Amino acid sequence: MEKSQVVKGAFLLSIAALVTKIFSAIYRIPFQNMAGDMGFYVYQQVYPFFGMITILALYGFPVVLSRQIAEKKAQGKDDEVKELLSYTFWGLLILSLLLCIGFLLFAQSIALFIGDESLYTVIQLVGFGFLFLPLLSVFRGAGQGINHMAPTAFSQLSEQAVRVLGILFVTFILTSQGYDAYAVGEGAMYASLLGSGIGTIILILLAKKGDIGFNIKGSFKSFIQHNASFLKQSVFICLNSLILLLFQLIDVFTVVRGLQVLDVADVNIYTAKGVYDRGQPMIQLGTILITSIALAVVPLLSNAIAKQHHQDARRYRDVMMRLAILLGGGATIGLFLLMDSLNVMLFTDQAGTNVLRLFVLSILPCSIYLAGAAIIQGYGRIHIPVYAILAGLITKTAGNIVFIDLFESTMGAALANVVAFTVMMIIVLYSLKKIDQTIFIQKQSFVTLVVVLLSMGLVVFGLKIGVETIFSTPYQRSAHALQAIFLAIIGALFVGVAVCLSNVFTLREWASAPKLAAVKRRIIRTFMKN
């Protein structure tokens, strides 16, 4: 019964995380449509700071705290749980207050360093977001530590729903009243803070408070040691979840600065950064599925390794790598080929289409990196992804500095993204080979997979040329949308049918997903009849 409850709780959290990530990517599209590229620029210049707060309050602090609570309870040390929670709460409260005060005092300096002093007020508002960290983290961690997952899931969903709806509502009101981009950015931050507040209230109302205490006992030294270790583990454990935000943070501090050395008006630079940021929701959507699959596969892999079922472990890791290439490769090729129509469909015009084409090429190496990092963590080598991330951040920073100057546009930042993720991918693939003497197990399956993806690309490209030749007049937005959706569906169907008819996945792998296996049999019967 208890095991069933754990599985249900884990499933609930996974669904909440998936829905939250989808919301996080999608809402930026209507936001950009209302706020324009300048409004999108303002929001994206401060979003990475707030996004990191959200990630730490969801995947960092609560995860580490829940593990520590579970360990205490498993050892029969229930009396130490309250002490653990109080240490954590007060440690996070002190940290949050320091960060909040830091943002309030140094907002102007941060804005000047970014290259846009007008961001001053919006950056100040970010500081207040840190104040929600202690309660969100402690109540979530306490609930997860006793397998009481519902409060975390519901608070997560409510927080994101209020934030997204609030941002869109406030943006609509402010833009319709003629307010400028910075006022829209401030409104979006107020809506984000409201979301955090509602999430905190719901969490407190639903949480079981029996084990939660805030009275500190013990020495100051043990308090410091606990919180230093706690912070280190928390950041360590959610680095993969932070990677896209860390890359965006590098862009915040380097893109505008890099473009300001050119003889271009600041408003044009800010707009160019806003156009470049159109790629952020695309890369998020392109990698959501693989991160969700990783959450399901890693426990299976770790369990197989712990039981020394090495054949099963190899099978799990190989399936995950094929899925990463299938999903990441399919998304990369599709977005690259259809970017001109997708750009108009999603963001109203074709500004920055070539920059975005280059930007989305990072989806494939990013997907392979995420899959490889998850596999390596399953093998217990949790330090390797950290090295890969450090190498990626250094490469991204250096790439932005060099390439933006070289290309004299945001094309340089897009190229830096691709190069950085490629470096990270190479590191995890090399590490996989060192761990298990090979990268790919079913080599023929990978060859077939590459052929399927390239064939899909040729089919979509051929159809695209045909459609554009027949309808040679300039497209309206609706026509671009119809073309993008039609060709995306054709490409997805082509890949789906080709995967079912080929040896990309083995019979045993199909058998592990009965519903998908039934679809495969129907497709095969249909093609055999014809």
Sequence ranges of the domains in the chain: 1-237, 269-530
**What's the burial of 106, exposed, middle or buried (CB within 10 Å: 0-12/13-18/19+)?**
middle
CA-to-CA dists, residue 387 to 65, 191, 421, angstroms: 24, 36, 13
Rounded Cα–Cα distance for residues 124 and 105 (Å): 8
Q: How high is the pLDDT of residue 213?
A: 55
| Residues 509 and 317: beta-carbon distance below 8 Å | no
pLDDT score for 212: 58
- pLDDT value at residue 454: 95
Tokens 């290259």 belong to residue? 115
Mention every residue, 6+ apart, whose C-beta is less than 8 A from residue 454: none
pLDDT of residue 2: 47
| Residue 34, pLDDT score | 94
pLDDT of the residue at 21: 80
Whether 140 and 152 have beta carbons less than 8 Å apart is answered as yes
Amino acid 215: pLDDT:
61
Hunting for tokens 């993720």 — which residue is that?
A: 421
Instruction: Give mean pLDDT in consecutive 10-residue pieces for the chain, a chain of 530 residues.
Output: 51 74 86 93 93 85 82 73 82 92 94 93 93 88 76 85 94 94 94 93 77 61 81 81 91 94 87 94 84 70 73 79 90 94 91 94 93 83 87 96 93 96 95 80 83 94 89 78 92 89 75 69 71
